[in-house]
Structure 1
Amino acid sequence: MQCPVCTDKTLIMSERQGIEIDYCPGCRGVWLDRGELDKIIERNAAEQAPAVASRPVVPASAPPPQHAPRPQHDEHYRHKRKKSFFEELFD
């Protein structure tokens, strides 16, 4: 299939985590077939749900926890965050 934007490039099919993605190597555009966006949204929601459910419930009357301020630009304090489903999918 030809790229709708470039018109001279052929789309490349790639399967990532069970979802078929068509992308253009020229403009790096991504196209999904019917139902594939729904699959991506469902998987992302399922991935995010356990993180929300595991948060502790804090009563509204409890004072906020006191934390010591951390240096903002110190290289030792930078933590790598986990990639989201979307970042892994399009990586």
Structure 2
Amino acid sequence: MQCPVDGDTLVISERSGIEIDYCPTCRGVWLDRGELDKIIERDAAATMPPARGGRDAYDDRGERGGKRRKKGGLLGELFDFLD
């Protein structure tokens, strides 16, 4: 498939089950139908706060704990090949 911007050949990359077409020259990114919806759904699920009231959600000092996401969140992880 050709890049609509500069005509270069697009490269296909799969990240987290989402197929991303990108141009190595202009760094443009294109998604197939439904791929943006998948990204939005996964990002929303990943950014939901932990359930309240459980001891698991807090550390010994009473501060929020849990897994820290890499800066940039899910979108940063999906598009890290552009850096």
Please say whether Structure 1 and Structure 2 have the same fold, judged by a TM-score greater than 0.5.
yes
Gapped regions of structure 2 (runs ≥ 5): 54-67
- Residues 1:5 and 2:37 aligned together: no
3-state SS, counterpart of residue 14 of structure 2? strand
- In structure 2, the CA distance between the partners of 1:55 and 1:86, relative to structure 1 (3 Å rule), is farther
Give RMSD over aligned pairs: 1.6
Shift >3 Å, 4+ stretches = 53-56
Q: Match for 1:82: what amino acid?
A: R
- 1:47 to partner: Cα distance: 0.4
Partner of 2:69: 82
Taking the aligned partners of 1:89 and 1:38, their CA distance within structure 2 comes to: 14
Equivalenced residues, count: 64
Taking the aligned partners of 1:44 and 1:16, their CA distance within structure 2 comes to: 13
Of all paired residues, the percent bearing the same amino acid is: 69
Taking the aligned partners of 2:69 and 2:36, their CA distance within structure 1 comes to: 22
User: After superposition, what is the alpha-carbon deviation per residue over 1:32-54, rounded to whole angstroms, capped at 9, x for unaligned?
Assistant: 000000000000000011x2x44
3-state SS, counterpart of residue 34 of structure 1? coil
For normalisation by structure 1, the TM-score amounts to 0.64
Partner of 1:17: 16
Larger gyration radius, structure 1 or structure 2? 1
